[in-house]
Amino acid sequence: MKPYLANFRFYEELNDFLVPEWHKQTIEYRFDGRPAIKDPIEVLGVPHSEIDLILVNNESVGFEYQLQHGDRVAVYPVFESLDISPLQHLRARPLRVTRFMVDVNLGKLARRLRMLGFDTAYNNRLGDAEVVDTAIREKRIILTRDRRLLFRKAVTHGYWVRSDDPATQLEEVLRRLDLGAQVRPLQRCIECNGLIESVEREQVWAELKPLTRRYYSEFYRCRDCRRVYWEGSHVEHMSDAIRQMMENSG
């Protein structure tokens, strides 16, 4: 039997990472020595990147705090709607600009985020290490369905997407990260993430089909992949979809 005992309690969505019998319960954790508190938290199943506040015996501590016998530990998530400004955040936040790095399992979510104007990197050929490296280098929030990815030490900003339905995933991310005020629809290419800019009709005339030439006069082009957009029925459909997304995430 390990000689020391500490009690842990996880709050709100952090319970999603725990086995059912530990949900919203005080967990008894036995240990040897004086481990950094980050280690038992992750042993219990919660990635460090989802945590913003740890209280030990009602005092705010960092991940380097060494756990002691008798400690009572309360752990709060990054996106908990709680004013903790006087306390010790566990990472610099927020990121100055909201950018995302979406892993291989969330391609449809990536397209939806781009539709709403969010800078969203996605490449289904990248492995986990490359996803993390890109996120760190470009200061992006990792969105993933693979919770193991968020246990990597280098990860600073990440979110485990709970739903497996793309429409629900978008609503979840908008709501949990409180992104409603940052939505800027139809500013990014949904195919490559490049910015879209207005162009003269003559610049894209050779690329247009006869009916498009006849009925439309305003055109846009992606700066990166050069894809041409115009305000046809597909834009109307996208606008309707965006309105529905915003209503559902409110």
Stretch among 21-25, 155-159, 214-218 having the lowest mean pLDDT? 214-218
pLDDT at 142: 96
Helices and strands, number each (H, E), in the chain: 7, 12
141-144 β-sheet, strand order = 119-122, 99-102, 141-144, 158-160
- Report residue 80's pLDDT band, with 50, 70 and 90 as the boundaries: very low
Structure tokens that stand for 213 in this block = 């030439």
- pTM given for the model: 0.80
How far apart (Å, rounded) are the C-alpha atoms in residues 150 and 96? Answer: 21
Structure tokens that stand for 88 in this block = 């010790």
Mean pLDDT, residues 221-242: 78
Mean pLDDT, residues 137-153: 95
- Report residue 81's pLDDT band, with 50, 70 and 90 as the boundaries: very low
Residue 88 has pLDDT above 60, yes or no: no
94 or 130, which is more confident?
Answer: 130
Phi, psi of 225 (to 5 degrees): -90, -5
How many residues comprise the chain? 250
Phi, psi of 61 (to 5 degrees): -135, 165
